[in-house]
Amino acid sequence: MADAVNGVVAVAVETPQHTGLGAPLDYSADALPPGTLVRVPLGRRDVPGIVWDRPAEAEAPPELRPVREVLAAMPPLGASWRQLVAFAAAYYQRGLGELALAVLPPELRKLDDVQLARRVARLRKPAVPARAARRAGLAAATAAAEAADAQHGVQPAADTPEAAPAFPPAEAGPPAAAEAPPLNDEQQAAVDAIGAAAGTYLLHGVTGSGKTEVYLHAAEAALAAGRQVLVMVPEINLTPQLEARLAQRFAGRRLVALHSALTPAQRLKHWLLAHLGEADLVLGTRLAVFASLPRLGLIVADEEHDPSFKQQEGARYSARDLAVYRGHLEGVPVVLGSATPSLETWQRVQEGRYTRLALSQRIGGGVLPRVRLFDMNTLPRQRGSAAPALAPALVDAVAERIERGEQSLLFLNRRGYAPVLHCTACGWKSGCPHCSAWRVFHKGDRSLRCHHCGFSERVPRACPDCGNLDIAPLGRGTERLEEQIAQLLPGARVARIDADTTRLKGSLEAQLGAVHAGDVDVLVGTQMIAKGHDFRRITLVAAVNPDSALFASDFRAPERLFALLMQAAGRAGRDAQQAARSEMWVQSWHPQHALYAALRKHDYEAFAASQLEERQSAGLPPFSSLALLRAEAREASIAQGFLRAASELAQAMADEAGVTLYPPVPPPVARVADVDRLQMLVESPSRVALQRLLAAWLPQLHALRSVHKGVLRWAVDVDPLAI
């Protein structure tokens, strides 16, 4: 690895994708260590870049343009960070510079060296107690600002105006609450194993078994050894609770959050704190896997099975898979936690590549809730009317809970009032004019809204086709369920949590707070509330209408449904005192389905075994590797033509390499915002063969596209999650 041999440096820059250039470009400069941020000319512009490793034997072209500016104020990005980025770019088939720059905080590229130097100096300043004490008088005035900041996940540092004297826990309460409960034997064994050797661990713990406590202890050991800890959760809404726990436990340590809801300035600050080694703990969503952490000692991915760990645009990376790679690269333990591991992870455990650490008991010895499959076919039906949303027996069970002062959770994975409106006279339905999808009826603001393109209109008074005044909702979403349960149980305190009720900053925390405080009897919501939360008073969870996923075309649909229902069940009876009478209801038209049978026994292993058997005989992941080539155009035929031509280009290579190219097909929602989409599956039993084919094939597609001018976009998704 030579830096700046003969005054030449390689610089990773964001080259436009259509040029097909992905490799670093050469520039002239005095010796600069790899990882240094620079600005270089590209075409007629100056663009940000990162000095990259340059093979010593590489020849430099005769005329080189000079590096324009060196941002020396920040230490260079380390070798392992560069290797992680290089691996991800190659594996997910993106340009190196494109990916490298995309995973840095966007604000960073706007700064010049002087501005950067100022920020770095400020962040490096140690805490000054005297200044903080002087400011103590301002405490009341700054309390609100602090609370807001805590929500954004930054712990006040002593050098910011809103600084506080000590490192405050994010939740009100005495700082001494940081004491850890003694671990049980299984927890202790898990912590010991993680501390003993680097490697990938599956922390396989039933819901409420104390997985988080294991993360905290493992983190404590890493911190004590002077290392940094990276903790990843799949969704932003799971951060506040974990953040509060981390902040309490590790008072005195610097904790930063990294996720997309931060302001650009916060994201830059947090990222810099991590990169400078000032932050001890980084809590984040998938983008945090690329945080620069010079002292990294432990990586945790909580709820590792969650599809949100996969980025769905740009470089479609799996943060879970990259975490495993990163751990391997840096020789640090990686802990993947789940009650329902992904089948990929489970298979690797079976193969002995990951170590399973089991937490088989709930904390306090509570049992898992009894699963009751309610057969919807047994409900008496009035001619012509739809089945009721809720079985009367379930409503009674909820009423019983209310009488006892316990809470119930009704889970329905569909927001809005009704997924579609229709005219009872002419059959008109509320389709989206721009998408192959229905527009959802939202009663709150009386809108018809497309969840795919965002197109929204006021609900028409009469049928737009025939003028009939009788237009009615079909099916139900959380808004309607909330209304129905309130009608069925007058006086009950019903709350709803979904993407619509949590749009405003802080509203989710406030609503969860009300649930925790016991101010809610019945909680209605989407998957948002089914995962992760440590509710203490819920003794009944009901899946109102989970069947549709049983028959979805995606081969991962059953795996996902099972995980979601196990998670949802896990929200009930988390207080051991109440566990014995806690229940999970599943309303189903197909109660005999094997998936529900496994759910009833809380038998993840049996479910996983049967799924893996099916996958193996069908040649599906984890027994094969997939990639999806997508194309978009105004007309489906144009996208089709491009994918067909692409397929022809690859056919000979594919035959030789044992890779199968499938014909292009439309995805479930084929048209979005007036654009038609098609996708083509590429499959191989060998990951290496697939990778080789993609690397040789995709660069040719840039040229191919210029022939197929109507193609708006094309992209490849390696290890796609949704097919």
Q: Does 285 bind ligand ATP (CB under 6 A)?
A: no
Is the sign of the CA dihedral 216, 78, 327, 233 positive or negative? positive
Candidates 137, 181, 380, 491; binder of ligand ATP (CB under 6 A) is 181
Per the CB < 8 A criterion, the answer to whether 238 and 283 are in contact is no
DSSP alpha helices (H): ranges in 250-391? 264-275, 319-330, 343-350
Residue 603 to residues 137, 411, 599, 703, Cα–Cα distance (Å): 57, 21, 6, 51
Candidates 159, 534, 547, 603; binder of ligand ATP (CB under 6 A) is 534
Compute the distance between CA of residue 427 and CA of residue 75 in angstroms, rounded to an integer.
65
Say whether 357 sits in a helix, a strand or coil.
strand
User: Per CB under 5 A, which of residues 411..440 are in contact with Zn ion?
Assistant: 432, 434-435
Per the CB < 8 A criterion, the answer to whether 274 and 207 are in contact is no
Window 565-594: contact mask with ligand ATP (x via CB under 6 A): -----x------------------------
Per the CB < 8 A criterion, the answer to whether 394 and 587 are in contact is yes
Total residues binding Zn ion (CB under 5 A): 7
In the annotated binding site for Zn(2+), the residues are: 423, 426, 432, 435, 450, 453, 463, 466
Compute the distance between CA of residue 370 and CA of residue 115 in angstroms, rounded to an integer.
59
Q: Does 205 bind ligand ATP (CB under 6 A)?
A: yes
Name the binder of 473 from ligand ATP, Zn ion, none, CB < 5-8 A by kind: none
Total residues binding ligand ATP (CB under 6 A): 18
Stretch in the footprint of ligand ATP (CB under 6 A) among 179-187, 542-550, 588-596, 670-678? 179-187
Candidates 80, 160, 184, 355; binder of ligand ATP (CB under 6 A) is 184
Residue 245 to residues 61, 262, 364, Cα–Cα distance (Å): 55, 20, 19
DSSP alpha helices (H): ranges in 469-627? 478-488, 507-516, 527-530, 557-569, 576-579, 594-600, 604-618
State in angstroms the smallest separation of the CB of 434 from Zn ion.
4
Stretch in the footprint of ligand ATP (CB under 6 A) among 180-188, 486-494, 595-603, 712-720? 180-188
State in angstroms the smallest separation of the CB of 669 from Zn ion.
9
State in angstroms the smallest separation of the CB of 228 from ligand ATP.
22
State in angstroms the smallest separation of the CB of 209 from ligand ATP.
4
Per the CB < 8 A criterion, the answer to whether 723 and 556 are in contact is yes
Window 320-359: contact mask with ligand ATP (x via CB under 6 A): -------------------x--------------------
Per the CB < 8 A criterion, the answer to whether 255 and 178 are in contact is no
User: Per CB under 6 A, which of residues 504..533 are in contact with ligand ATP?
Assistant: 532
Name the binder of 339 from ligand ATP, Zn ion, none, CB < 5-8 A by kind: ligand ATP
State in angstroms the smallest separation of the CB of 307 from Zn ion.
22
Considering only CA atoms, which of 161, 184, 154 is closest in space to residue 272? 154
Ordered DSSP codes for 159-227: TSTT--SS---SSSS-GGGGPPPPP-HHHHHHHHHHHH--SEEEEEE-TTS-HHHHHHHHHHHHHHTT-
For ligand ATP, the closer CB: 574 or 677:
574
Residues forming beta bridges with residue 225, ordered by sequence position: none
Instruction: Centre a 10 Å sphere on the Cβ of residue 394 and count the other Cβ atoms it contains.
Output: 23
Q: Say which residues have a Cβ less than 8 Å from residue 424's Cβ, sequence separation at least 6.
A: 468, 470, 471, 472
State in angstroms the smallest separation of the CB of 222 from ligand ATP.
18
Name the binder of 432 from ligand ATP, Zn ion, none, CB < 5-8 A by kind: Zn ion
Candidates 450, 584, 599, 650; binder of Zn ion (CB under 5 A) is 450
Compute the distance between CA of residue 218 and CA of residue 463 in angstroms, rounded to an integer.
61
Candidates 178, 183, 189, 474; binder of ligand ATP (CB under 6 A) is 183
Candidates 98, 149, 213, 406; binder of ligand ATP (CB under 6 A) is 213
Name the binder of 207 from ligand ATP, Zn ion, none, CB < 5-8 A by kind: ligand ATP
Stretch in the footprint of ligand ATP (CB under 6 A) among 136-144, 203-211, 270-278, 677-685? 203-211
For ligand ATP, the closer CB: 9 or 569:
569
State in angstroms the smallest separation of the CB of 188 from ligand ATP.
9
State in angstroms the smallest separation of the CB of 686 from ligand ATP.
35
Ordered DSSP codes for 18-45: GG---S-EEEE-S---TT-EEEEEETTE
Q: Say which residues have a Cβ less than 8 Å from residue 242's Cβ, sequence separation at least 6.
A: 212, 231, 233, 283, 302
Read off the tokens for 151.
Answer: 């929500």
State in angstroms the smallest separation of the CB of 445 from Zn ion.
17
| Interacting residue ranges for Zn ion, rule: CB under 5 A | 432, 434-435, 450, 452-453, 455
| Interacting residue ranges for ligand ATP, rule: CB under 6 A | 181-184, 187, 205, 207-213, 339, 363, 532, 534, 570
